[in-house]
Amino acid sequence: MQYKRILLKLSGEALMGNKQYGIDPVQLEDYAKEIKSAVDKNVQIAIVIGGGNIFRGLQGATEGMDRVQGDYMGMLATVINSMALQSAIEKKGIKTKLFSGIAVDPVAELMSGRKAIQQLEEGKVVIISGGTGNPFFTTDTASVLRAVEINADIILKGTRVDGVYSADPEKDKNAIKYDKLTFDEAYNKNLKIMDLTAFTLCKENNIPILVFDMNVKGNLIKVLDGKNIGTIVTV
């Protein structure tokens, strides 16, 4: 395997599958299978998942809700998604540990980088919910923060598209796909890979980001095997 320890970032919207809202059990099962295949290769996996399928704090703010209150609601949405994913993974016979950036006893333990590393080294899949624990930060930023805390080799951002394009490939047929980018190139081209705070944190800590289509079965293993899948962004 090319990577020993990874941070897998999944969007909450991806859990909707073919539904308009909430969690699609079929999609959840597919993700659990993909994650098990990586665990079987002895890769240490930490996961951060968004909550956009349930609630988005920023969207709530645009509709008149208090931004801080909305962001905390969004954090709780990530806890719900993380619990669902935890259940699906454990049904595969894999041990997990659920942490959270906000206190939600007895559901999850408060996030600790040292404890998370210990759990990873014991062979458990670590799921980190609750964002950073603070309002005004996205789950993108949370995923980078957690990757730094656990000394991850790379952040794998699982999306619905097969990499980073010059424009939205679903809207622009002439969009060009990039195989490799530097952080500076991505910034100068104004490519929306992650929000700026997350992106800067990645660059400062020299953690590469690989964007790939998580919905294609077998893609996660191909990425871990070093196959030319998706787009990698490095310093």
How many whole angstroms separate alpha carbon 206 and alpha carbon 116?
A: 20
- pLDDT for 2 equals 83
Neighbour tally for 99: CB within 10 Å: 22
Average pLDDT over every residue of 118-127 = 98
Average pLDDT over every residue of 140-151 = 97
- Selecting from 3.30.413.10, 3.90.45.10, 3.40.50.300, 3.40.1160.10, what CATH number does the domain 5-234 have? 3.40.1160.10
Average pLDDT over every residue of 169-175 = 88
pLDDT category at 64 given cuts 50, 70, 90 is confident
**What is the pTM (predicted TM-score) of this model?**
0.94
Q: List pLDDT tens digits, range 29-44.
A: 999 999 999 999 999 9
Tell me: pLDDT of 61 over 70.
no
- pLDDT for 132 equals 97
Structure tokens, 55: 């609630």
How much is the mean pLDDT over the chain? Answer: 93
Tell me: pLDDT of 60 over 90.
no
Domain ranges of the chain: 5-234
- pLDDT for 48 equals 98
Pair 168, 191: CB distance under 8 Å = no
Average pLDDT over every residue of 79-84 = 97
**Residue 170 backbone dihedrals phi, psi, to 5 degrees:** -80, -15
pLDDT category at 58 given cuts 50, 70, 90 is low
Q: List pLDDT tens digits, range 154-171.
A: 999 998 889 999 998 888
Tell me: pLDDT of 22 over 70.
yes
